[in-house]
Amino acid sequence: MGHPSHIEPGAIVVTAMKTRMSTQWIGRLGLAVATVLAPALAACNSHPIKPTEYDNFQESEDDIPISVNRDVDILFVIDDSRSMAEEQATLARNFGPLLERLDRDDVRANYRIAITTTDDGHWLCGNGDEGAFQLSSCLGRADDFRTTIDGQSRDFFQEACAEICAYESIDVLPTTTFSDPTPRPRPWIESIDGVSNLPEGISPVDAFKCFAPQGVTGCGLEAPLETMRKGLTLTTDPTAPEFGFVRPGAILAVVIVTDEADCSSRWDEVRDPWDKNGSQALWTEENIAKGQLTSEVCWFGGVHCEESPDGTKECWAVDKAADGSETQDPSQAVLHPLDRYVDFLAKLEADKQVINPDQQLLVAVLTGVPSGYDGGAIPYTDGDDAEFLRENGIGAGCASDNGKAAPPVRLAELADAFRADDDDVNLYSVCEPDYSNAMSAIAAAIDQQVRPPCVPTCVGDSDLDREGLQPDCQLTEEYVTYEGDEISYSIPACLAVDGSWALPEGHDVCYRSLTDRDGSTPEDDDDMSPTCAEEGWNLELSLMRRNDASAPPGARVRARCSVSQLQAVDCPGLEG
């Protein structure tokens, strides 16, 4: 049969209709999975014959949660200081692999992508973006790419924008959100069920090439953690354009791109470190003699290092007061304590886990780690570049033809707090000439959570006279309206009509059962995804919606399926 134009996996919770003879099996990934395997079957031979009849419909119910979610919200926090022109260009050029993976047929993510900068409006820099989402073509912001470095005027417009972006302006189309049913232009890129909020002919990748270059006039005391927090907080403010960006059940990923140490400072309350007439306790003698404030204050104000026997340093985040002493009083700290951001993101993650217990918030940082960094300890040294040391308080963490980048401590510890597992690497070198590998790795981390809707139990065959698995399932979709009303309705099976699939009359959504694990049937529209097949399940559910009927925001689907009494026959891949 042919493929319909609008098929999607759903966010599904399965309820198994179990028979009298059953045992519980806990699947990997922490999913509580109900299967049926009679104890007597343990003595069966390794190639049991399919029985001619057995009752598959004794109803004893167990809820089986399944992590299926195609909604992804990604916030990019991009350093817009004067040293970042080349890095912004590299990000814009190499963004494609991320969306290529999210757009794959076995993922088909519903994604939103927002951009903010690291400019928090420091006392010495004037007004900043303070987390506000930025969505305008760089071709209309030529002045943002002109700055002065070492007394020399520099213009990065051509290399960081004009050579990459093809659109003078991009006006996003009006869309709704979970919290706002009125269509409005939103300050983010969006693609839902394959339909974007961009003008016809402009792809999300091409739009990002124009939106990502943020220029080089932002504050040089970069505050990526604070602008990240402010940006995500704005998404909860009904008066802000950012309102509604973060969807309740969506996977949330934060991607920070910077070549400096985090300087999320409490400058409006603790001004002494930034005042040339202050104590200068966090200044080196050389900068005191020169009367020059540099980013070293950010380093010394939030990091403590100790020398190692091999000449390297071990460094970790601490809270320091203006006099350079460590403090346990957040109100005295020069920088906002790191816990402010770990706790903030952990709360967002916990809120999402109420909807999906297996969901993890994702953090990735392109920063000053060595090229090819694959985890482990980050080397900290004073290096051999006296000027870089004077500017940053530490030697470079990486270098390229485009310059050098300070190593992370606070950013690294935040990233470590949100690693998916011990083998996860979510720090990438900002000095790489190509970010394709980093973008692919970030997409792969998202992909791990955008799982296909495998039914994580061995589903029984309801019709032994027909070839192949004939599952017996009943599906229900549930969601909460903008007004708080709970809506629930049944989802029927899709109809086979003239070699294709069709919606039953009067319905906006239907489901299909995918049961071909190994490509043994001549059709390809019953093929299970590799993930479900490799894990040993024998049923995957796929939803088809009317082209103009997207899934309601936050919708979940519950499925109740009969369960096999003969797992050895119906699900041999689960044996062992």
- Per residue in 534-554, pLDDT tens? 889 999 988 888 876 777 766
CA dihedral (270, 272, 274, 275) in degrees, to 10, reads 140
Question: Is residue 166 over pLDDT 50?
Answer: yes
| Of 246, 174, 168, residue with least CA distance to 209 | 168
Question: Is residue 104 over pLDDT 50?
Answer: yes
Q: Which residue has the tokens 């817009």?
A: 80
The pLDDT confidence band at residue 280, using thresholds 50, 70 and 90, is very high
The pLDDT confidence band at residue 8, using thresholds 50, 70 and 90, is very low
Amino acid at 85: A
The residue that leads in pLDDT, 303 or 69, is 303
CA dihedral (56, 57, 61, 63) in degrees, to 10, reads 60
The pLDDT confidence band at residue 10, using thresholds 50, 70 and 90, is very low
Residue 420: per-residue pLDDT: 86
| Of 99, 97, 131, residue with least CA distance to 112 | 99
Phi, psi of 253 (to 5 degrees): -125, 135
The residue that leads in pLDDT, 127 or 51, is 127
Segment 562-576, tens digit of pLDDT: 899 888 888 988 865
| pLDDT, averaged across the chain | 86
Taking the domains of the chain in order of start, what are their residue ranges? 7-68+453-574, 71-265+336-384+398-449
Q: Are 330 and 267 in contact (CB under 8 A)?
A: no
Segment 367-403, tens digit of pLDDT: 999 999 999 899 899 999 999 999 999 999 999 987 8
DSSP secondary-structure letter at 522?
Answer: S
| Of 417, 411, 447, residue with least CA distance to 430 | 411
- Average pLDDT score over residue span 84-109: 92
Q: Are 540 and 475 in contact (CB under 8 A)?
A: no
91: enclosing H helix or E strand: helix 85-93
Residue 57: per-residue pLDDT: 38
- Average pLDDT score over residue span 504-513: 93
Segment 450-505, tens digit of pLDDT: 877 888 889 999 998 888 899 998 888 887 776 778 889 999 999 999 889 999 99
- Average pLDDT score over residue span 279-290: 96
Q: pTM for this structure? A: 0.80
Segment 341-362, tens digit of pLDDT: 999 999 999 998 887 777 899 9
Q: In Å, how far are 149, 386, 507 from 152, measured between CA atoms? A: 5, 21, 66
Residue 482: per-residue pLDDT: 65
| Of 251, 135, 247, 141, residue with least CA distance to 197 | 135
- Average pLDDT score over residue span 24-40: 28
Residue 499: per-residue pLDDT: 86
CATH superfamily of 71-265+336-384+398-449: von Willebrand factor, type A domain (3.40.50.410)
Phi, psi of 501 (to 5 degrees): -105, 145
Residue 451: per-residue pLDDT: 74
Question: Is residue 61 over pLDDT 70?
Answer: no
Residue 58: per-residue pLDDT: 38
